[in-house]
Each structure stands twice: as C-alpha cells, then as structure tokens.
Structure 1
Amino acid sequence: MILSPFEWTIAKRYMLPGRGEAFIALVAGISFVAVTLGVAALVIVMSVMNGFRAELLEKIVGLNGHAIIQAYGGRLDDWQDILKKVEATPGVTRASPLIEQPLLATFNGRVEAILVRGNTKPDLKRLSEKVVAGNFASLTENSGNVAIGSRLAENLGVRIGDTITIINPAGRSTPFGTVPRQVGYTVSAIFEIGVYDYDNAYVVMPIPDAQTLLLTGDTIGMIEVTTTNADTAMQTMAPIKQALAGRAVVTDWKTMNASLFEALAVERVAMFVVLSIIVLVAVFNILSSLIMLVRAKTRDIAILRTMGATRRSLLKIFVTIGFVIGACGTLGGLILGFVFLFFRQPVVHAVEYLTGQNLWDPSIRFLTDLPSRSDPVEITVICIMALVLSFLATLYPALKAASTDPVQVLRYE
C-alpha cells in the first residue's frame, strides 16, 4: 500500500496530534507500549523455553547418548560382540560400554546416595571438558581415583585429595551374613555438567575400577549410542533392537525423558497462546485510539472529502496510522526482548536480590543457569502475528472514516 505525498502528509499530521488532542496521543502511546511489551514478552518467554529444551537435551544427550542398550538383569556378558555390531550399524557415530549403579558414599560422617559411573578412556576425556577442579588425567585403571559432581562435592564437603568411601551392599558372604563392600577412593577431579541431578549424584571412574567395585567381572551394564540424528535414534537402532529382543532393551532419549520433554512441549504451546492474548489486547488499544481519532477528526475528514480526497485515500491514511503504531511497537518489542535476553542472568539476580526469593533453583529447574535460544522462525511468526493483528485493528476505524458523509457533517457548520 503506497501512499501519495498528500496522504503521507495527512497521516503524519494525525500521528502527531496537537495540544488539544493530548488524550488521543496518550492512548496512541499506550497502544505502542502495549504492543512493545506484548511482543517482548513473547520473544523472551519463547526464547527461554527453547533454550531450556535445547540446553537440557544437549546436556542429557551429551552425557547419556541418543540411545541406551541395557541388558535384562543389568549384565551384558557378550558385550564386545554387541558393541561391534552396534558400531557397524549405519547411522551410528559412536558406541561406548558403560556401567552405572546406584550406591552410597560417605565422608566425615556424611552419607549421600550416588550413581557410580564407569566410563571408557575416550568418554572420560570428553567429560574432562566439564572439570572445575582437579585433573581427569589421574583417572587411570587401578589408580583409586574418581571424579565427582560439583553439587555432590558440596553436600559431602569434599575437596580435591580427600578420600570418600563407597559402599556396595552386594559385598562378601560371611557366617554372619553379607558384609557390605566398602572401598576408599581419592577425589582427583570435580566436574559440573550443568544438570542438577547429574552434578548431585555422579561419581565417575574407569570401567575396570567400576567392575572391581561392583564385583561384576568382565561384564558391563549398558552401551550408550550416539547417532547422526537424535530425532531418528530409534529408527537407526531398529536392527539392533530386533537382534537383541529378549536379551536387552533399547531405549532412546525421548523415551527416557518422555514426561519431561512432553511437559515442555505443552508448556511452550500454552505460554505462546496466553502471551498472544497480550498482543491481542494491545491491538484493541490501537483500535480504540483510532476510533477516538476518527471521531475527533470528523470535521477535518469532511473538509478533505469536499476538497477532493477519495474514500480510498482516507482508508489508506487511517490504516497507515494504526499500522505504523503496531509496526513501531513490534520493533520496540524485538529490541526490548533481545536486550532482556542478553542481560537475563543479571536481571534474574537483581530480582532475586530485591525480592529475597530464589527464582532459579537448580534442584527444580535441572539447569544451573537461565538458558536462551532464539528461533528465527518463531521470531518471524511473532512479528507477522503482531503486524497482522495491528492491520486488522485499523480496518473498522479506517472504513468508518472513509464512509464519512461530508454533507451530513458540514450541514450545520
């Protein structure tokens, strides 16, 4: 919709009302602020939701792979042959043997439930990127060294060089019953994955040390698999699942975390719908401000009509006024939203300081920091929705202005 110089001049004049029309300008300003806040709220919430899902998926998949092969009974005896078959499967990029067992750890009278995790050397090397203290290089076979999560270290009061005792209930048999196996390990590294449950429970060691602790011999508990595409992991693992039917179960990351990611998906949709109502309310402000402007300018509109202005010109003028308010509000909302996202962590800390409340408890939110990841497609949809609603809000006042009868208005002037 291209405006002529005359139409654009009138539109600019009406977008900047005079002193006697301050109330109309106030309503138009409120409309601009409302659209800005609505768009900003949508951008912020959807980006945080996307970031939360992406960060959670990245950390969960980064530690556990895209799929897990777990034997019935918890022991995979012929795991070397199975590992070769998995590695030869098209679409599989990495397969690693893994041991994971819930046990107890004690230090200075403190007791915590832990997950002992036995990893291969390549997996330990990948995990070493998350180290916050100590050195993963000392985690060698039969060294008696382990790495533990940062939250677990805090709960136990452990520092680098301290010795923790890991208790395995499946110990040795004696005439008085089974005596739990207690083995001391030196903490040589502390890591932080960024997922609270992992940092609060994991104790990592080489696979041979885990086999010795658990008295499992040359067996493992599971094989973690990484594929070329996380979303099609089960399709990739279908041949392996069929070959191991009755011996082991194949589970992908979607199944293992189904309730969590389904809840996130539902919440994303619900938040988008609820926050879209804010934008809808904002465009109603545009509608009301244009209706007030049309009523205030009825005499001017009648004079313009008698001077030769067409209904089409008046329609374009008032549509432009409302659409410009919506477009400026949308642009302002994008800027405000991205500024907030850039400074999101200081904002969270500031609100926590002012309210005295912990807004981001890692034990509840899983992640240690507030994440953010903006999706260009979603941002585009938000902008288009705001602009379309702003345009639709201008139609009724513009049609009302265009249908003004100059004879009826000017009859008694």
Structure 2
Amino acid sequence: MIAGRYLLPGRGEGFIFLVASISLVAVALGVAALIAVMSVMNGFRAELFDKILGLNGHAVIQGYGGRIPEWQPLMAKVRQSPGIVSATPLIEQPLMASYRSRVEGVLLRGMTLADIHNTPVIANNVKMGTLKDLQPGTNNVAIGARLAEALGATLGDSIALISPDGQVTPFGSVPRIVSYKIVAIFEVGIYDYDKAFVLMPMENAQTLLRMDGSVGIIELVTKDPDKIEAIMEPVRTVVGGSGVTTDWRSMNAALFQALVVERTVMFWVLSIIILVAVFNILSSLIMLVRAKSRDIAILRTMGASRSSLMRIFVTVGTLIGALGIGLGLVLGFTILAFRAQIVSGVSALTGANLWDPSVRYLTDLPSKTDPVEVIGIVALALLLSFLATLYPAWKAANTDPVQVLRYE
C-alpha cells in the first residue's frame, strides 16, 4: 500500500515523478528496441537459411571439371547413406543473357521436371506464367523477377543465352547463342538469386551445354542440417574421387558468421538503453528517499523494521521497471506488426532506401520472435531494475529517526 502511494507524486514531488516517468519510458524503449531488433535479426537469419538451403540444399557433390558422368549409380549409393533425405541432380553454369540491347550475367540451372515442381522455394513463388510450360525439347525458360527487370523482358519475350563453349571456326571460337522464350517469372525473395537464375529442364540444359547426359552437381538434403559434419562423413567415403563434397556451412560460412556477430553486438549495444533507464530509476529513488525521510523516520518510530522499509522502496523501483517492461512489450510487438509500413514511411520522409534488396539480400523485411529470447529480455530488465533499487532502499532502511525528527 505504501509503495503504491509513493508511486504517485506528493506535494512538491513533481520533479521526482517526472524523473520516474522518464525512467519508465526509457525502460519501455529499451525493451521494445531489443524485442524488435532481435526478432528482425532472427527473421533475417531464418529467411536466409530457409531460402538459401531451399535452393542449394544442405550439401552438394560437385564433379571435377563441372561434370559427373556416372551420376545415377553414385546418387543411388548416396541416398542409402544414413541421414540423407534426398539427392537431386543439377546443372549450374554461369552464362550471359541478352534481350535487345541489354546484357546480364546469369546462372543457368537445369533440373528435372519433378524436382522443379517439388522445390517449394521456386514452385510457390511464381509471379507470372506457369512452370508447366517448362517441357524437355521446348526452348522455354523461367527467370527471376529481378533479372526480368534488369533485362526489361516480360512473359512471352525471347532472351538469348550465350555460352562461351561454342564452335571452333577458322576465325576462332564462336560463342553459342540460343534463343529461349520466357514462360514463367518467379521471385524467391533473395535478390542475388532473383537477379541471376534462369531455370530450364535438365535435358535442355544438357543439350545447350553439350554435357552428353552428365550433370554438374548432386544436391543433398539431410535430416538435421546442424549435424551436417557427422552425416557427410560416410557420404565422402562413398563419393571418393568422383567429386568434391561441400556443406552449407562452408558455402555460406562468412554470411552466417557475420549474422551471429551482428546479432550479439546489437543485443549488448541495445541493452545499454535499459542500463541507462535503470540509472534513472536509481536517481529517482534516491530523490524519493530524501523527500520521504520524515515519513521514513515516523515509520521507524512506529516500529517498522529495516527490512520492511527496504521492501517498500524495492517494490517502488521494481514496479517502475515492470510497468516500463509491459509498455515496452506492447510497443515492441506493435513495431513488429507494422514494420513494413514504418520502413516505407521513414524511407518516404528521408528519401533514403532503408531496405535495399541488393544490399540486404532479402526482398522484404523479415521477423521471427523467439519466446525464450523475449523472456530473457524481460528477465534482464527486471533484474537490472531490482538491482537499481538496492542502494536507495538500503539508505532508507538506515535512516536515523532521531536525526530527522530532532527539530520537529
């Protein structure tokens, strides 16, 4: 009851109430910033992980010289290895694509029809056209949305794919140029892929690149990507000298390591906001103890124990922190709910593109809230708020009523 009354300003205590209110708002801002930023970082990592591994698998077997001639028996053996869920043959080759006067570097990907339709990252993100028109023997392709923008091409247009492995003539080597019709445009959400991918049936890619039935890569999906090292050990034995095995950690090590470092640094930097708010709680409680010294002395003369006085001021400070945490939770989840609109609004006001897909990899601003992380943030804020109350509470408990009431 006393702690509740001390939360409200008394006569001449407006400044103390103002400092306490600032402390509450500061705690709220710190908690909201931590929740929003950590959720966006988690979402960024999860989206990158899902989309990159959805396109490239958990590991790949690459043939020497870009070719695996006897890929069917090798793939059958790999599929029997423990922990391997699926093995998919692929052809990937950097080429050039031209449309009218524009030329772009592209990554040609050849897949079987079944694998094209069973890859959710591609099949579920077709923006225009249909993948059903990709048939062996037809000069049809599907391209990424950003590549279509860069070339200025759209559905139904024909682009030319330029392969340096062309014919040798008396005048030198002539690149091979083949025209393909765009029958589908997809957007997986990763800028680099949407800007480069040209998708066609496996047979068409083998014909274009003159691979004589070979494939370039066998893509592997495992039961648990976090245990990729243990799962790949027997696979490397099976592959032997047929190719080189590479897992997702090696292929994207720098990117995911940078995300871990950035996430850790952001957590501790934003925690400083809560720490500053806690110092405000400390200063407001010290001023409150000085303002209430007469009340404290009277309570002591009435028989109040030191521990009860400490509990009063610990409760006051902790309640300020708890109210700030509650407000911060509401504010943080509100920011996450309207994050796209907030980014668009700030970009419109400042004239700066805050979320450039060419820099951020992903097309949209992602978010994924971890309940355990939210509980940790709340616990950290509560702990710091509690620790900030100990010194003022101790000073209040050690107030000498004789000194305070001597001239009353």
Normalised to the residue count of structure 1, the TM-score between the two structures is: 0.97
Q: Is residue 2:41 matched to residue 1:49? A: yes
> What CA distance in whole angstroms lies between the structure 1 residues aligned with 2:123 and 2:11?
67
The aligned residue for residue 385 of structure 2 is 390
Deviation of residue 244 (structure 1)? 2.2
User: Partner letter of residue 226 of structure 2?
Assistant: D
The aligned residue for residue 163 of structure 1 is 158
User: Partner letter of residue 386 of structure 1?
Assistant: A
Q: Percent identity?
A: 61
Deviation of residue 163 (structure 1)? 0.6
Contact 2:146 2:194 in 1 (8 A): yes
The aligned residue for residue 340 of structure 1 is 335
Contact 2:34 2:267 in 1 (8 A): yes
Deviation of residue 19 (structure 1)? 3.9
> What CA distance in whole angstroms lies between the structure 2 residues aligned with 1:222 and 1:278?
49
Q: Is residue 2:83 matched to residue 1:80? A: no
The aligned residue for residue 316 of structure 1 is 311
Residue from 191, 200, 203 that aligns with 1:196? 191
The 3-state SS of whatever aligns with 2:240 is coil
Deviation of residue 245 (structure 1)? 3.2
Greater CA deviation, 169-178 or 390-399?
Answer: 169-178
> What CA distance in whole angstroms lies between the structure 1 residues aligned with 2:255 and 2:387?
38
The aligned residue for residue 237 of structure 1 is 232
Contact 1:67 1:234 in 2 (8 A): no
Q: Is residue 2:118 matched to residue 1:123? A: no
Contact 1:290 1:322 in 2 (8 A): yes
The 3-state SS of whatever aligns with 1:164 is strand
The aligned residue for residue 2 of structure 2 is 10
Residue from 258, 266, 269 that aligns with 1:271? 266
Q: Is residue 2:160 matched to residue 1:176? A: no
> What CA distance in whole angstroms lies between the structure 1 residues aligned with 2:240 and 2:228?
17
Contact 1:39 1:383 in 2 (8 A): yes
> What CA distance in whole angstroms lies between the structure 2 residues aligned with 1:244 and 1:135?
36
Residue ranges of structure 1 left out of the alignment (5+ in a row): 1-8
> What CA distance in whole angstroms lies between the structure 2 residues aligned with 1:244 and 1:95?
13
Contact 2:142 2:183 in 1 (8 A): yes
The aligned residue for residue 377 of structure 1 is 372
> CA RMSD, aligned part only?
0.9
The aligned residue for residue 355 of structure 1 is 350
Cα shift readout 1:149-187 (whole Å, capped 9, x = no counterpart): 000000111111111000001011212221111100000
> What CA distance in whole angstroms lies between the structure 1 residues aligned with 2:322 and 2:47?
32
Contact 1:116 1:204 in 2 (8 A): yes
The aligned residue for residue 251 of structure 1 is 246
The aligned residue for residue 401 of structure 1 is 396
The 3-state SS of whatever aligns with 1:237 is helix
Q: Is residue 2:87 matched to residue 1:95? A: yes
Residue from 256, 279, 288 that aligns with 1:284? 279
Deviation of residue 53 (structure 1)? 0.3
The 3-state SS of whatever aligns with 1:117 is strand
| Displaced runs of 4 or more, over 3 A | none
User: Partner letter of residue 31 of structure 1?
Assistant: S
Q: Is residue 2:257 matched to residue 1:262? A: yes
User: Partner letter of residue 328 of structure 2?
Assistant: G
Cα shift readout 1:91-134 (whole Å, capped 9, x = no counterpart): 11111100000000111111000000001112211322110000
Residue ranges of structure 2 left out of the alignment (5+ in a row): none
> What CA distance in whole angstroms lies between the structure 1 residues aligned with 2:345 and 2:268?
28
> What CA distance in whole angstroms lies between the structure 1 residues aligned with 2:259 and 2:283?
37
The aligned residue for residue 302 of structure 2 is 307
Normalised to the residue count of structure 2, the TM-score between the two structures is: 0.98
User: Partner letter of residue 116 of structure 1?
Assistant: L
The 3-state SS of whatever aligns with 1:165 is strand
Contact 1:68 1:225 in 2 (8 A): yes
Deviation of residue 71 (structure 1)? 1.2
Contact 2:92 2:216 in 1 (8 A): yes
The aligned residue for residue 104 of structure 2 is 112
Contact 2:96 2:104 in 1 (8 A): yes
Cα shift readout 1:242-276 (whole Å, capped 9, x = no counterpart): 23233311111111010000000011111111111
